[in-house]
Structure 1
Amino acid sequence: MTTTRFAPSPTGYIHVGNLRTALMNYLIARKAGGTFILRIDDTDPERSKEEYVDAIKQDLEWLGLHWDRVERQSDRLDRYAEAADKLREMGRFYEAFETPTELDLKRKKQLNMGKPPVYDRAALNLSDAEKEALRAERGNGVWRFKLDHERIEWNDGILGDISIDAASVSDPVLIRGDGQVLYTIASVVDDTEMGVTDVVRGSDHVTNTATQIQIIEALGGTCPRFAHHSLLTGPQGEALSKRLGTLALRDLREQGVQPMALLSLMARLGSSDPVELRSEMAELIDGFDITRFGAAPTKFDVQDLFPLTAKHLQSLPLADVADAVADAGVPTEVAEPFWAMARENITTLADLKGWWELCRDGAEPLIADEDREFIAEAIALLPEGPFDGETWGTWTKDVKEATGRKGKGLFMPLRKALTGMERGPEMAALLPLLQVIRARG
C-alpha cells in the first residue's frame, strides 16, 4: 500500500515551501487510496515547541489535508539508538572530534588544492587512547556514517536518473556530540519501519537522499521512491528563503486567502499543467501527476492567490460564508440579497464590511459640477421606498424621460452620486440594500 509522510520540524510556522511538500505527499497517498502520515520531527528539544506542533495541525486542517495518523520522533529515540548500535557493530559508524574551526580549515585546504571539500576521515585513524584523551578535553564527539565510496543511483520521480559519487560527499553526521539524533538517521529508521513507499521533498535534499539510500541499505531496509521538487523563488526569480517568514500559511489565512485558491495554485505550480481553480479536493487528487513537474526553480507570487480567492468566493452560496456575512454586521433578513450583490465585487471576505458600511451609512456623493442640477432632478424622482429589484430600472427610465439623458451620461452620474464610486455592483441589486442615500440631502 502507498504510504507517504510530511515531516515538519515544530520550530516555527509552516510556509508555502513546506506546503508544497505536504500537498504533493498528501495527493500521492490519496490518489492511491493509501496512508498519509504526519510525522513531527521534534528530536531537537531546545528548538521544538508544542505551540508549533499545534499550529502545524491547525494549518493542515484549515487546508483540509487530513492525516491518517500522527507520529512523533521524540517518542522513537530508542529505535534510533538501536539503529546506531547496529551501524557500530557493522563498522559503519565512527566517532569524530574535530571542532567547527578545524573542519573549516580542512575544507579551505582541500579547496586550495583543487579537491572536493569532504571530510578526510581522520577520526578513523585515532587510537582508543587518543579518543579517550579527546573526550576528556572536548567531550563526546559526533558520530558519522561511513559511506561506501561508490556511485549512488536512483530514478527520481521528477529529476529522472540521478547518479552521485559517494566519494564526493562527506560522511554524514547522524548523532551530535550532545547526543541529539539528526534527521538523516531518524528519517531513515522511520521511513523503513513505517513502510513509507514514496518520499517527495525539495531538491535541496538530493545529497541527503544519496546518503540515506546507503544507510537504508546498511540497515536492511527497502528504499522508497524518491522525488525532489524544485524550490520556490520570488516572482522575479529571487530567493524566497528570506521572505518565507512572511509567507506562513497563517499569515496568508489572515490576509483572506481561501484554502482552495492556495491548494489549486500549489498543486499545479511548477508543472506542465495550467493552474485552474478547483472547487474541491477530489479534483486536485484526480488530476495530480508527479511526473508532470519540472526541475527548474519555480516562481511563486503571493498576488496570484487573490484573483483565485475572488473567483472561488463568487462560486459560494450564502451558507458557506454566513458567518463572515454576519461578522460584517449584515442583518440576517438581508444576508441573501447582500451576498448576491457583494460576492462579485470582493477579493476576500474582509471586503464585505466595506460594502455593508456603504449600504448602512450611505456614501459621500461624488458629483461633478456639470451634473449637480441633473442629480438634484433625478433624486427628486426617486421614490421613498422600500426599494426592490425593479426600482433602479423604473427610476432610471423616469429620469431619462424627464432629463433626456441616456446611456453612460445617465447611469454613471447616478452611480457616483449614490455610491461615491465609478464602478461596483449592479445598481439594481445594490439600490434595495441602501438604507441611507446621502444624495437626497
Structure 2
Amino acid sequence: MTTTRFAPSPTGYIHVGNLRTALMNYLIARKAGGTFILRIDDTDPERSKEEYVDAIKQDMEWLGLHWDRIERQSERLDRYADAADKLREMGRFYEAFETPTELDLKRKKQLNMGKPPVYDRAALNLSDAEKEALRAERGNGVWRFKLDHERIEWTDGILGDISIDAASVSDPVLIRGDGQVLYTIASVVDDTEMGVTDVVRGSDHVTNTATQIQIIEALGGACPRFAHHSLLTGPQGEALSKRLGTLALRDLREQGVQPMALLSLMARLGSSDPVELRSDMAELIEGFDVNRFGAAPTKFDVQDLFPLTAKHLQSLPLADVADAVADAGVPAELAESFWEMARENITTLGDLKGWWELCRDGAEPLIADEDREFIAEAVALLPEGPFDGETWGTWTKAVKEATGRKGKGLFMPLRKALTGMERGPEMATLLPLLQVIRARG
C-alpha cells in the first residue's frame, strides 16, 4: 500500500513552502487509495512547542488535508536508540569531539587545498583513553554515521537519475552531544517502521537523501521512492526563505485566501500543467502527477491567490457563505439577493462588509456639475417602492423618455449618484438593496 507522510517541526507556523511538501505527499497517498501520516518532528525539546503542534493541525484541517494517523517523534526515542545501538555494533557509528571552531578551520584548510570540505574522520583514530580524556574535557561528543565511500544512486520522481559520490559528503551527525536525536536518523527509522513508500520533499534535501539511503540499507530497511520538488522563490526570482515568516498559512487565511484557491495553485505551481481553479479535492487528486513537476526554481507570488479566491467565491451558493454574509450585518431576508449582487464584485469575503455598508447607509453621491439637473429630474421619476429586479429597467426607461439621454450618458451618472462609484454590480440587482433609496421610494 502507498504510504506517505508530512513531517513538520513544531517550531513555528507552517508556511507555503511547507504546504507544497504536505500537499504533494497527501495527493500521492489519496490518488493511490493509500495512507497519509502526519508526523510531528518534535525531537528538539527546546524549540518544539505544543501551540505550534495545535496550529499545524488547525492549518491542515482548514485546508482539508486530513491525515489517517498522527505520530510524535518524541514518543519514539527508544526506537532511535535501538537503531543507534545497531549501527554501533556494525561499526558504522562513531563518536567525534571537534568543536565548531575546529571543524570550521578544517573546512577552510581543505578548501584552500582544493579539496571538498568534508569531515576528515580524525575521530576514528582516537584511542579509548583519548576519547575518555576528551569527554572529561568537553563532554559527550556527537555521533556520526560512517558512510561507505561509493556512489549513491536513485531515480528521483522529479529530478530524474541522481548519482552522488559519498566521498564528497561528510559523515552525517545523527545524535548531538546533548543526546538530541536529529532528523536524519529519526526519519529513516520512522519511514522504515511505518512502511513509507513515497517521500516528496524540497530539493535542499538531496544530499540528506543520499546519506539516508545508506542508513536505510545499513538498518535493513526498504528505500522509499524519493522525489525532490524545486524551492519557491519570490515573483522576481528572489530568495523566498527570508519572507516565509510572512507567508504562514494562518496569515493567508486572515487575508481572506480561500483553501481551494491556495490548493489549486500549489498543486500545479512548478509543473508543466497550467494553474486552474479546482472545485473540490477530488479534482485535485485526479489531476495530480508528481512526475510533471520540474527542477527549476519556482516563482510564487501571493497576489496570484486573490483572483483564484475571487473566482472560487463566485461559484459558491449562499449556503456556503451564509455565516460570512450574516457576519457582515446583512439581514436574513436579504441574504440571498445580497449574495447574488455581491458575489461577482468581491475578492475575499472580507469585502462583503463594505458592500453591505453601501446598501445600508448609502454613499456620498458622485455628481458632475453638468449632471445635477439630470439627476434631480431622474430622482423625481423614481417609482414607488418596494423595489425589485425590474425597477432599474422601468426607471431608466422613464428617465430616458423624459430626458432624451441614453447609453453611457444615461446609466453612468445614475450609477455614480447612487453608489459614489463608476463601476460595480449590476444596478438591477443592487438597486433593490439600497436601503436609503428604498426608504425614499
Normalising by structure 1, we get a TM-score of 0.99
**Contact 2:387–2:438 under 8 Å retained in 1:** no
Count of residue pairs the alignment pairs up: 441
**Contact 1:389–1:429 under 8 Å retained in 2:** yes
Distance in 2, Cα, partners of 1:313 & 1:77 = 46
String of CA shifts for 1:143-189, please: whole Å, max 9, x gaps. 00000000000000000000000000000000000000000000000
**Contact 2:359–2:433 under 8 Å retained in 1:** yes
String of CA shifts for 1:285-320, please: whole Å, max 9, x gaps. 001001100000000000000000000000000000
Question: Does the residue aligned with 1:277 lie in a helix, a strand or coil?
Answer: coil
String of CA shifts for 1:3-46, please: whole Å, max 9, x gaps. 00000000000000000000000000000000000000000000
Question: Does the residue aligned with 2:53 lie in a helix, a strand or coil?
Answer: helix
**Contact 1:415–1:427 under 8 Å retained in 2:** yes
**Contact 2:386–2:438 under 8 Å retained in 1:** no
Residue aligning to 1:109? 109
String of CA shifts for 1:66-102, please: whole Å, max 9, x gaps. 0000000000000000000000000000000000000
Residue aligning to 2:323? 323
Distance in 2, Cα, partners of 1:385 & 1:123 = 91
String of CA shifts for 1:55-75, please: whole Å, max 9, x gaps. 000000000000000000000
* Superposition deviation, residue 428 in structure 1: 0.3
Distance in 1, Cα, partners of 2:37 & 2:214 = 24
**Contact 2:13–2:249 under 8 Å retained in 1:** yes
Q: Do the aligned partners of residues 318 and 438 (structure 1) sit closer, same or farther apart at CA in structure 2, a change above 3 Å counting?
A: closer
**Contact 1:342–1:352 under 8 Å retained in 2:** yes
Distance in 1, Cα, partners of 2:15 & 2:410 = 50
Matched, 1:199 2:195: no
* Superposition deviation, residue 437 in structure 1: 3.5
**Contact 2:174–2:181 under 8 Å retained in 1:** yes
Distance in 2, Cα, partners of 1:385 & 1:366 = 23
* Superposition deviation, residue 439 in structure 1: 12
Distance in 2, Cα, partners of 1:282 & 1:296 = 28
Q: Do the aligned partners of residues 405 and 439 (structure 1) sit closer, same or farther apart at CA in structure 2, a change above 3 Å counting?
A: farther
Question: Does the residue aligned with 1:110 lie in a helix, a strand or coil?
Answer: helix
**Contact 2:346–2:352 under 8 Å retained in 1:** yes
**Contact 1:379–1:439 under 8 Å retained in 2:** no
* Superposition deviation, residue 440 in structure 1: 7.1
Distance in 1, Cα, partners of 2:224 & 2:438 = 68
Distance in 1, Cα, partners of 2:47 & 2:396 = 66
**Contact 1:363–1:438 under 8 Å retained in 2:** no
Distance in 2, Cα, partners of 1:439 & 1:186 = 69
Residue aligning to 2:294? 294
Distance in 2, Cα, partners of 1:153 & 1:435 = 71
**Contact 2:25–2:199 under 8 Å retained in 1:** yes
Identity %: 96
Distance in 2, Cα, partners of 1:386 & 1:234 = 52
**Contact 1:365–1:438 under 8 Å retained in 2:** no
**Contact 2:20–2:266 under 8 Å retained in 1:** yes
**Contact 1:140–1:177 under 8 Å retained in 2:** yes
**Contact 1:257–1:305 under 8 Å retained in 2:** yes
**Contact 1:364–1:438 under 8 Å retained in 2:** no
**Contact 1:237–1:299 under 8 Å retained in 2:** yes
**Contact 1:158–1:294 under 8 Å retained in 2:** yes
Distance in 2, Cα, partners of 1:189 & 1:355 = 55
Question: Which sections of structure 2, spanning at least 5 residues, go unmatched?
Answer: none
Distance in 2, Cα, partners of 1:434 & 1:440 = 10
**Contact 1:363–1:437 under 8 Å retained in 2:** no
**Contact 2:432–2:438 under 8 Å retained in 1:** no
Residue aligning to 2:397? 397
String of CA shifts for 1:340-394, please: whole Å, max 9, x gaps. 0000000000000000000000000000010001000001111231111110000
Instruction: Select between 382-391 and 250-259 the one with higher mean Cα deviation.
Output: 382-391
**Contact 1:268–1:275 under 8 Å retained in 2:** yes
String of CA shifts for 1:127-146, please: whole Å, max 9, x gaps. 00000000000000000000
Distance in 2, Cα, partners of 1:32 & 1:249 = 27
* Superposition deviation, residue 235 in structure 1: 0.3
String of CA shifts for 1:192-218, please: whole Å, max 9, x gaps. 000000000000000000000000000
Residue aligning to 2:74? 74
Instruction: Select between 215-224 and 429-438 the one with higher mean Cα deviation.
Output: 429-438
**Contact 2:2–2:196 under 8 Å retained in 1:** yes
**Contact 1:158–1:290 under 8 Å retained in 2:** yes
**Contact 1:3–1:36 under 8 Å retained in 2:** yes
Distance in 1, Cα, partners of 2:178 & 2:359 = 64
String of CA shifts for 1:253-304, please: whole Å, max 9, x gaps. 0000000000000000000000000000000100100110000000000000
Question: Does the residue aligned with 1:163 lie in a helix, a strand or coil?
Answer: strand
Distance in 1, Cα, partners of 2:184 & 2:304 = 35
Distance in 1, Cα, partners of 2:11 & 2:17 = 15
**Contact 1:144–1:175 under 8 Å retained in 2:** yes
Question: Does the residue aligned with 1:36 lie in a helix, a strand or coil?
Answer: strand
Question: Does the residue aligned with 1:177 lie in a helix, a strand or coil?
Answer: coil
Question: Does the residue aligned with 1:436 lie in a helix, a strand or coil?
Answer: helix
Distance in 2, Cα, partners of 1:147 & 1:375 = 84
Distance in 2, Cα, partners of 1:402 & 1:330 = 35
Distance in 1, Cα, partners of 2:279 & 2:291 = 23
Normalising by structure 2, we get a TM-score of 0.99
Question: Does the residue aligned with 1:226 lie in a helix, a strand or coil?
Answer: strand
